Chains A and B, each alone.
Chain A
Amino acid sequence: MLFNSLEFLLFLPTVFILYWFVFNKNIKHQNILIIISSYIFYGWWDWRFLFLIILSTLVDFIIGQQIFKHRDSPKKSKYWLSFSVLFNLALLGFFKYYNFFIDSYIDLLASIGYDVKSPWILSVLLPVGISFYTFQTMSYSFDVYYKKISPTKDLISFATFVAFFPQLVAGPIERASNLLSQITTERKFNYGRAVSGVKLILWGFFKKLVIADSIAPIVDDIFNNYTEHTASTLILGVCLFSFQVYGDFSGYSDIAIGTAKLFGIELMSNFKFPNFSRNVAEYWQRWHVSLSTWFRHYLYIPMGGSKVSKLKSVRNICVIFLVSGFWHGANWTFIFWGGLHALFYIPVFLMGRNRIYADNVIGQNTLLPSLKELLMVFWTFVLVTFSRIFFRSPSLTDSFNYIDRIYSNFSYSAYTHPMGYRMTDFYILLALFTLYEYLIRKDERNPFKFKSKGVRFFVYSAMILGMLLFYDDNVNRSFIYFQF
């Protein structure tokens, strides 16, 4: 079920009313309602894959108990942790990466002269959100192993933690220490939190429907026909893709966080205005925060993080980014994308500038940013956007051809929208969007932080009017990150 669908429009109020009016007396009943709702939400796409979630839930629930049971025996608890990791990676490996490995193996043999016809390629459907929920369940095993939490003995609470529908298919990837503890605690309706949730939902829809969906046909047209476009159009295409993927994914996250708030649950922030990052390190503190946090806690720090020699730290950074790239998809383009980010990150790290912007934003104490900040933001945007050519292209060859065409055919031509819309509308839209994001840059949880009720009302209305103005019935309204 998509957030931006009629079914969700009916689903959400129904679950909300049942949750607070019918099952509000008993936390267990509320959790059962969430589980059932979440399974309906997920099964709406393809009910057959529900068994994967249920299997993953059961396995990690049991493993959590076992790790805790053998907490005094490091060897045994490690054994159980390895089992959890292997199990989840096996799920991912089969459904997401199996064909990639087979293809790569065949390509490798072909490169040394062996022509292999593959009987092993399988027609496997990628279950929506598998990378998200497997990582979430793994985080539970890790947290129990590292004694950050005690395992829950309540299977219903654990199943709720795994399947909580607002963040089930595209995150934020929650750690058990944050989400599970809220699920096991009684929840009371809080007016302020619910209002804040509705505001985030509105903001998320605006980013998805107005920014991402309206740009999508342009990006598709340019990337699908890149051999026919001039350099100016190709640059436009990848810049717009930067906005599209941001609007799409951060929009989803905001809707997820807002929806969770309606049920009395606080999810972690996933996006903190990454387009205003002053270097690539800051970008990764602001982009897909839940995934970065996951890798930092469960991979980077266990490998020694930055508390080892510079050389090993650089190795750790490379590993993190390559794995992160691979997490996104079974394609060399994502691995290359991750590798590029490692290359961008390492100089910042070696100069010791990777944490300097962790606690402040551009224009922290001023209304306008300094020229230096603007240049830094611009340069970071250029690097990140350049890397997105690999993220968006179907293959490495296409990525390099796309770049080659920018250099070899460096010329300008006005771009015409494939469906005939005025391009000026989109340029104005993105300029206003960027300006608005700058205004609210200090608090990603409160996108309508205006004192005047009148101004807030005007902004709400303008956002919804924007949705109507840029609504396009012919656009595929799915979310980009569902494929991951």
Chain B
Amino acid sequence: MKKFIGTTALYILLILLMLELAVRAFHLYTVDPPRFIDDHGVEKRVPHHNGYAVTGNRKQNFSEFNINKSGFNSHREFNPSATKYEIAIVGDSYIEGFHQDFQNSIGKKIEEKIAGIEVYQYGYAGYDFANQMHLVYAYQDTFNLIDEIILYLNYENDLERDSYTPNTERIQMLSSTIFKIRDQIKLLSYGSKIGVLEPFKKLATGKNPFKTDITAYQSNEIQEETEAEKLERDKRYIANFQNLIKLYGFDKSKTTLLLDARKTSNIFLEFCDQNQIKYIDFSESFKKSKKPTNLIYDMHWNDHGRELIAEIIANYIRQKKPH
């Protein structure tokens, strides 16, 4: 009996070691560059980190990232000046672009289309509109030098807040020993990403680990909102939007929203029109596309989608940029 338990334990240990080696060798794990909140209260990545972001359990998506001196994934450093023409694109993971090599980002694509400009992508997974507005406000000195600001608005979930407060809990959690261990043991990091460790996570957070929630495949029914609920939501979102403008300012002359009109309420679009808030709508371009615009495994934009976004922004800038 002792031999059996001993041998089993030894085999488990050796197999775990072997798996750790395999996960490292095939780079199955994703690297999540560390995050922090800077002196301005802006949540971002710790500068000068690079590596590979991996999506899915068999490297469904594999791309290189580069966190620059400013703490954002980009092919360039952000050094605006009065003599250059710069565009800032601010947004969430779609703008951060961990799903595409940083050398092939939206910013790089725009720069290739318009000579003599610099594109700064202030993207960060988890940003909502409050984060974005606060960022522009917090880095006023920098943004005063930037010629155009494009804020990516995912209307469906970006306007839930009417003011910004830094998510210190998340930063603390990610800096905790348990997360540091997870990041060091790549097998854990991989297991956590694909959901194998879900029951253990539930156990650690005091939830019922035995309750299984089949979330996606067969039971992903979307609860349709009623018209009254939609109206209520639009009112709330517009009020939040107005409050964010009141708190952090909004330079209408050089700030433009980037949005998908298919996913944005007409009431909100009308509000923008009435208040001279400019927006770039990429829905038509995506609709007309004969090729898919999103990754299949993941709903973020694929290379073609990013190409379309870059083209739309470039066209918009061409109209605005002084020759």
Q: Which residues of A contact B (CB under 8 A)?
A: 5-7, 20-21, 189, 191, 194-195, 198, 217, 220, 416-422, 425, 457, 460-461, 464-465, 468-477
User: For the complex, is B214 an interface residue (Cβ under 8 Å from A)?
Assistant: yes
Contact of A473 among B8, B194, B210, B297 (CB under 8 A): B194
User: For the complex, is B83 an interface residue (Cβ under 8 Å from A)?
Assistant: no
Q: Which 10 interchain pairs have the tightest Cβ spacing?
A: A473-B195, A420-B296, A474-B216, A420-B297, A6-B199, A461-B18, A474-B217, A194-B4, A7-B210, A189-B1
* Given A473-B198, A476-B218: A419 and B15 interface contact (C-beta under 8 Å): no
Chain B residues lying within 8 Å of A468, measured Cβ to Cβ, are 19, 23, 28, 57, 190-191, 194, 196
Chain A residues lying within 8 Å of B3, measured Cβ to Cβ, are 191
Chain A residues lying within 8 Å of B60, measured Cβ to Cβ, are 420-422
Separation of A464 and B16 alpha carbons in the complex (Å): 9
| Distance from A140 Cβ to chain B, minimum over Cβ atoms (Å) | 32
Task: Report the nearest B residue to A24, measured CB to CB.
Answer: B1
Evaluate contact between A464 and B217: CB separation under 8 angstroms.
Answer: no
Evaluate contact between A421 and B15: CB separation under 8 angstroms.
Answer: no
Q: Give how many B residues have a beta carbon under 8 Å from the other chain's beta carbons.
A: 37
Evaluate contact between A6 and B194: CB separation under 8 angstroms.
Answer: no
User: For the complex, is B179 an interface residue (Cβ under 8 Å from A)?
Assistant: no
Evaluate contact between B195 and A421: CB separation under 8 angstroms.
Answer: no
User: For the complex, is B58 an interface residue (Cβ under 8 Å from A)?
Assistant: yes
Chain A residues lying within 8 Å of B295, measured Cβ to Cβ, are 420
Separation of A418 and B217 alpha carbons in the complex (Å): 8
| Distance from B294 Cβ to chain A, minimum over Cβ atoms (Å) | 9
User: For the complex, is B47 an interface residue (Cβ under 8 Å from A)?
Assistant: no
Of A189, A419, A474, most buried by chain B (CB within 10 Å of CB) is: A474
User: For the complex, is B215 an interface residue (Cβ under 8 Å from A)?
Assistant: yes
User: For the complex, is B7 an interface residue (Cβ under 8 Å from A)?
Assistant: yes
Chain A residues lying within 8 Å of B217, measured Cβ to Cβ, are 217, 220, 418-419, 474-476
Separation of A413 and B292 alpha carbons in the complex (Å): 17
| Distance from A450 Cβ to chain B, minimum over Cβ atoms (Å) | 15
* CB<8 Å pairs between A and B, sample of 6: A6-B200, A191-B4, A220-B217, A419-B216, A471-B194, A472-B57
Separation of A470 and B195 alpha carbons in the complex (Å): 12
Evaluate contact between B19 and A469: CB separation under 8 angstroms.
Answer: no
Contact of A464 among B8, B19, B28 (CB under 8 A): B19
Evaluate contact between B8 and A416: CB separation under 8 angstroms.
Answer: no
Task: Report the nearest B residue to A472, measured CB to CB.
Answer: B57
Chain A residues lying within 8 Å of B56, measured Cβ to Cβ, are 421
Chain B residues lying within 8 Å of A5, measured Cβ to Cβ, are 210, 212
Chain B residues lying within 8 Å of A21, measured Cβ to Cβ, are 1
Chain B residues lying within 8 Å of A6, measured Cβ to Cβ, are 199-200, 209-210
| Distance from A278 Cβ to chain B, minimum over Cβ atoms (Å) | 35
Of B195, B215, B216, most buried by chain A (CB within 10 Å of CB) is: B216
Chain B residues lying within 8 Å of A476, measured Cβ to Cβ, are 214, 217-218
User: For the complex, is B267 an interface residue (Cβ under 8 Å from A)?
Assistant: no
- Mark contacts of B1-26 with chain A using CB atoms, 8 A cut-off: 1 yes-contact digit, 0 otherwise: 10110011001001100110011000
Chain A residues lying within 8 Å of B18, measured Cβ to Cβ, are 457, 461, 465
Separation of A194 and B11 alpha carbons in the complex (Å): 14
| Distance from A45 Cβ to chain B, minimum over Cβ atoms (Å) | 12
Separation of A477 and B214 alpha carbons in the complex (Å): 9
Separation of A470 and B58 alpha carbons in the complex (Å): 7
Evaluate contact between A220 and B218: CB separation under 8 angstroms.
Answer: yes
* Given A422-B60, A475-B217, A476-B214: A461 and B19 interface contact (C-beta under 8 Å): yes
- Mark contacts of B172-206 with chain A using CB atoms, 8 A cut-off: 1 yes-contact digit, 0 otherwise: 00000000000000000011001110111000000
Separation of A27 and B303 alpha carbons in the complex (Å): 66
Contact of B57 among A7, A464, A471, A477 (CB under 8 A): A471
Separation of A77 and B146 alpha carbons in the complex (Å): 96
Separation of A21 and B4 alpha carbons in the complex (Å): 13
Task: Report the nearest B residue to A216, measured CB to CB.
Answer: B217
Contact of A469 among B58, B200, B216, B296 (CB under 8 A): B58
Task: Report the nearest A residue to B199, measured CB to CB.
Answer: A6
- Mark contacts of B247-282 with chain A using CB atoms, 8 A cut-off: 1 yes-contact digit, 0 otherwise: 000000000000000000000000000000000000
Task: Report the nearest B residue to A9, measured CB to CB.
Answer: B199
Evaluate contact between B15 and A461: CB separation under 8 angstroms.
Answer: yes
Within B208-239, the residues touching A (CB, 8 Å) are 209-210, 212, 214-218
Of B4, B194, B215, B295, most buried by chain A (CB within 10 Å of CB) is: B4
Separation of A417 and B295 alpha carbons in the complex (Å): 13
Evaluate contact between B199 and A470: CB separation under 8 angstroms.
Answer: no
